[in-house]
Amino acid sequence: MSDDNAKKPNIDERLDRLTDRHEALTQTVELIAAAQIKNEADIGKLTALMAETGQFINRLAHIAEAHEQRLDRLEGQ
């Protein structure tokens, strides 16, 4: 046998390596999928928080407008 043939993995070794790589890729995909699910949940929470913040800002704007109108009335007296 030549040195090249001695270094070449046989079919079982190649299949084992392929199986190991497949398992590693499967685990990676599972981790990415779990992270994506968490990210989607986090984005949902942030979206709700932004909606609440927008409503709060609108309420503050109405309060400021009411105060401004009151001050205008008081200054006009």
Residue 61 domain flag: yes
Find the mean pLDDT for residues 4-10.
Answer: 77
Range of the domain at 38: 10-76
From CA 73, how far away is CA 5, in angstroms rounded? Answer: 98
Predicted confidence (pLDDT) at residue 59 exceeds the cutoff of 70 = yes
Q: Tokens 């001695």 appear where?
A: 6
Residue 29 domain flag: yes
Q: State pTM to two decimals.
A: 0.59
Which DSSP symbol is given to 9?
-
| 19: region left, alpha or beta (phi > 0 left; psi from -120 to 50 alpha) | alpha
Instruction: State the total domains in the chain.
Output: 1
Quick one: pLDDT at residue 9?
Answer: 87
On whether the CB atoms of residues 18 and 10 are closer than 8 A, the answer is no
Banded pLDDT at 12 (limits 50, 70, 90): very high
Q: Tokens 């590693």 appear where?
A: 24
Predicted confidence (pLDDT) at residue 35 exceeds the cutoff of 70 = yes
Predicted confidence (pLDDT) at residue 63 exceeds the cutoff of 70 = yes
